[in-house]
Amino acid sequence: MPPESGRPLTALAIRNAVRAGRLTAAQACRAALDAIDVHEPRIHAYISICADRAMEAAHRLDADPARVARLPLAGVPVAIKDNLCTAGLRTTAGSRMLEAFVPPYDATAVRRLEEAGAIIVGKTNCDEFAMGASTEYSAFGPTRNPVDPSRTPGGSSGGSAATVASGALPIALGSDTGGSVRQPASFCGVVGLKPTYGRVSRYGLIAFASSLDQVGVLAGTAEDAALALQAIAGADAADATAAGRPVPDYAAALEHPVAGLRVGVPRALVADEVDEEVRDRFDRACEALRAFGLDVRDVSLPHARHAVPVYHLVASAEASANLARYDGVRYGLRAPHDGSVIGMNAATRDAGFGRELKRRIMLGTYALSAGYYEAYYARGQRVRALIRADFEAAFREVDFVALPTAPTPAFRLGERLDNPVQMYLADLFTAGPSLAGLPAISIPCGETREGLPVGLQLVGRMFDEAGLLRVAHAFETGAAGRNDGA
């Protein structure tokens, strides 16, 4: 139930109100569903909305007040990107290939959210199999940016970013392979957190590029992002890549002082191919960090300019291998065919996959093929190691690296569909941290003259999500009104 001011409640406020009995989980859920109904015709953030399922879960929670008192996300309505498996609820990955797929199990991150008391209200739209930067490659139509519906919300987690930005609910899960949480967060003016590779289990996340994929969080505030990460992080016997490291108290870390922390800015990287207004808001954000007592200094990331081509080599190669399972035999779509196995495979993949997916599969297959593996994929992995080494060297001098999240504000729908290279450049500043497996967060740092949000990206050391959230919280609470683009 929204407050009288009309401003959406945060996850923390909903949790506290439900625990105190001032609000029921059913009221919070109904308010979110009503808000989705209002916004959905304009922005199309969802592939599936599960109103009956959500209300039943909310009523069950309200019937057990003793349990409510223990739950960190009691009654908080959340949305889930449609490439995370949800038991009994359709999971399409934005593709015709999985249009009718209903998983028999929950992704670990989904299960943990529900165990924490969150109420799932729907599955959000995304680029097909999470391959895209605008949510225009969804087989179910594009999502529109709630700030300006003529523009993209970013991608591939555009639906999750858009529903949070609309104010319908405070938290949504996304996935981030090369920027798919952070870039839409920047375009929509919300917080987007990509954890360290291995901090959150990938079990139940439909695979794109297995060495890069990571479940992430879209939220209205850093505090809400901390609550969500607390719920989903940690070891998982079902995922060998999930790290066994202890999970810190992220909410408590928000209150630690930030003065004296060192932030590095790779000026040479930011100097080129960045929109003038984005660079201006980024510079103002760095000055705000300095005003809070952080030590802002220059650093060098000499190989970061190669991140986008390396990312698309590695990710496309892994996608080619991961998507080979969609052949019309075991699950998913089976298209009409000539009766042969080869004909079934070809017809199914042609009908089930969209144009961008086919492009990336062909690029990845070529990079892995005999005679080209060493020239492309292996060389890309060597440059990936150099990018990781650059960050390691920077972190010997600083605690965080600051970058714009995206080189431009949200671009218009359709503007880059015929120019894939321009579309790929939306990952200019997000691909590097992904290749290095590092945690990174995007936080709003102002608007352009047209009112389009701009994001500040902070990159941290491995498993220092607590530090990123602490600086993000200090920035959004202390910088209010200082970076409004005036």
Q: What is the full DSSP assignment across 128-183?
A: GGG--SSS-S-TT-----SS-TTB---SSSHHHHHHHHTTS-SEEEEEESSSTTHH
Residue 400: strand, helix, or coil:
strand
CA atoms in the 13 A half-sphere facing the CB of 470: 22
Distance CA 220, CA 237 (A): 31
Q: Are 193 and 468 in contact (CB under 8 A)?
A: yes
Closest CA to 40 of 155, 123, 139, 136: 123
Closest CA to 474 of 285, 325, 274: 285
Question: How far are the Cα atoms of 44, 79, 185, 273 from residue 40, in angstroms, in the given order?
Answer: 5, 13, 18, 34
Task: Note the Cα 163 to chain centre separation in Å.
Answer: 13
Closest CA to 431 of 395, 380, 357, 368: 380
Q: Are 256 and 472 in contact (CB under 8 A)?
A: no
Distance CA 90, CA 104 (A): 10
Q: Which residues are annotated as catalytic?
A: 81, 156, 180
Q: Which two tokens stand for residue 209?
A: 């590029």
Burial of 239 (0-12, 13-18, 19+ CB in 10 A): middle
